[in-house]
Amino acid sequence: MAIIVGVIGCGNISRFHFQGLAQAGVTVRWVCDLNPEASAPWAERCQATATADWKQVIADPAVEAVVITTISRVHKPICLAAIAAGKAVICEKTLAENLEDAAEITSAARSAGTLLWTSYMKRFIPAVEQAKALLPALGQVLSTSIRANQCWGDLWSSAPTEGFFHTPAGGSSPVVRNYGGGILVCGGSHLLDLVCFLHGRPTRLYANVHVPTGRDYDLRASVLLETDHGPVHFQALSHPLVRTGFLGDGWDEQFEIIGTRGRLQVLSAQWDDPEHKASVLIHEDADGVRHEHRFAAVSPFARAIGHFCACIARKEQGPQAITTGYDVDELIATIQRSSRERAALDVVYRV
């Protein structure tokens, strides 16, 4: 595919994006990271130029698109600069560290006519895509339950005194500094995107978010969302159970949709082992016949990148809305406010 891209951010998550770019057959011209030890191997593998200055990547007129895999708190300046330079943008989730920045990025892309995708790759899990295709077979949707229960160790019995989940007095924890929040942002954001993917933008919600005393991050978020296709019961939970989940690996992430003519259930495999673990779709039809769909282990990251690159080649946004990342950030902000105010709130979309 004759597209020239630059990758900004060469941390752990970038390996999935590089894999997708290689499979798509695009040319990686630049790799950028503040740590030269992180960028050097990718520069060698891609025969690209390494830099610690992301502005060099965006200033190159040959670069048609940038793939941003940095931590969320630096997404805004990179996205806005790339948009101003007329580059297509593929950005890791969450789109921004806060709602206002997400709205500004999305509005800038829309005004400039620039292509923008937030890479919520779980839309590209084959079981999820098949579930979306089967939705009309359910008739009227009555109820949806969706959850991301992830094994983060025992963070409930006592506050960590060191490490990734330690909140120092007067400071912030590494999980908040790097990712902007706890389980709602880190795990729940993907599932909120799936709610939008399956049912459209929620219109109203009521939430309870639990932040333990002495921490700056949440361990549980429970939300009731109203959509045009009925209520959605949502949960994001950090737990210590190492053998739970359908594969017995501590990962319990799934959704169930019940309609007047059947039921769909997707059991989602752990996100960072796509080469070995695959999700499962169970469809019970109107006659009560159970159909189990098993798929080969494939990387949804690679499938997402391949789709975005194909859209760039055609110079079109494609079916994924430019507001995808903003929509999730709007929901996260409304969930947090609903919990603080202990009130049901309308979700007001400004973009």
> Per residue of the chain (351 residues), what is the pLDDT tens digit?
689 999 999 999 999 999 999 999 999 999 999 999 999 999 999 999 999 999 999 999 999 999 999 999 999 999 999 999 999 999 999 999 999 999 999 999 999 999 999 999 999 999 999 999 999 999 999 999 999 999 999 999 999 999 999 999 989 999 999 888 999 999 999 999 999 999 999 999 999 999 999 999 999 999 999 999 999 999 999 999 999 999 999 999 999 999 999 999 999 999 999 889 999 999 999 999 999 999 999 999 999 999 999 999 999 999 999 999 999 999 999 999 999 999 999 999 999
Reported residue count of the chain is 351
- What sections of 123-267 are H helices per DSSP? 126-134, 174-179, 183, 189-199
Q: Is 221 a member of any domain? A: yes
Asked if residue 202 lies in contact with residue 331, where contact means CB atoms within 8 angstroms, the answer is yes
User: For the whole model, what pTM was predicted?
Assistant: 0.96
Whole-angstrom distance, CA of residue 92 vs CA of residue 102: 12
Which residue(s) pair with 268 in the sheet?
Answer: 253
Domain for residue 205, yes or no? Answer: yes
Q: What's the confidence (pLDDT) of residue 178?
A: 87
Looking at the structure, do residues 162 and 245 belong to the same domain, yes or no?
A: yes
Q: Which CATH number do you get for residue 241?
A: 3.30.360.10
If asked whether residues 90 and 165 sit together in one domain, one would say: no
170 burial level (CB within 10 Å; 0-12, 13-18, 19+) = exposed
| Confidence at residue 194, expressed as pLDDT on a 0 to 100 scale | 98
Same domain, 162 and 257: yes
* Residues in CB range of 113: below 8 A, 6 or more apart: none
Beta strands 27-32 and 4-8: pairing type? parallel
What is the DSSP code (8-state) at residue 212?
A: -
Burial class from Cβ neighbours inside 10 Å (0-12, 13-18, 19+) for residue 173 reads buried
Same-domain status, 157 and 102: no
Q: Which domain holds residue 203?
A: 123-296+330-346
In this structure, are 220 and 306 located in the same domain? no
**202 φ, ψ to 5°?**
-60, 150
Q: What is the pLDDT of residue 331?
A: 98
Q: Report the alpha-carbon distance of residue 195 to residue 108 in Å, rounded.
A: 25
Written in H, E and C, the secondary structure of 33-54 is CCCHHHHHHHHHHHCCEEECCH
Domain shared by 193 and 310, yes or no: no
Angle formed by the axes of helices 36-46 and 14-24, to 10°? 10
| Residue 27: CB atoms within 10 Å | 16
**E strand spans, the chain:** 4-8, 27-32, 49-51, 65-68, 88-91, 116-118, 141-151, 204-210, 220-227, 230-239, 251-259, 262-268, 280-284, 290-294, 345-346
In a domain, 13, yes or no: yes
pLDDT for the residue numbered 275: 87
Per DSSP, the three-state class of 249 is coil
Kindly tell me the sign of the dihedral angle through the C-alpha atoms of 303, 308, 314, 317. Answer: positive
Please indicate, yes or no, whether residues 101 and 8 belong to a single structural domain of this protein: yes
Domain for residue 86, yes or no?
yes
104 part of a folded domain: yes
Is the residue at 351 inside a domain? Answer: no
At 1 the pLDDT is: 66
Amino acid at 110: R
Assess whether 230 and 243 both reside in one domain.
Answer: yes
Instruction: Answer yes or no: do 187 and 164 share one domain.
Output: yes
pLDDT at 213: 94
- Do both 127 and 145 map to the same domain? yes
pLDDT for residue 2: 87
* pLDDT given at position 200: 98
The predicted pLDDT at position 300 comes to 96
Q: What CATH number is associated with residue 69?
A: 3.40.50.720
275 and 264 both lie in a single domain: yes
Residue 70 lies in a domain: yes
> Amino acid identity of 187?
G
Q: Is residue 192 part of a domain?
A: yes
Q: Are 101 and 134 in the same domain?
A: no
Domain count, the chain: 2
pLDDT for residue 332: 98
Cα distances (Å, whole numbers) of residue 185 to 43, 101, 117, 237, 256: 31, 15, 18, 11, 21
DSSP-assigned letter for residue 187: I
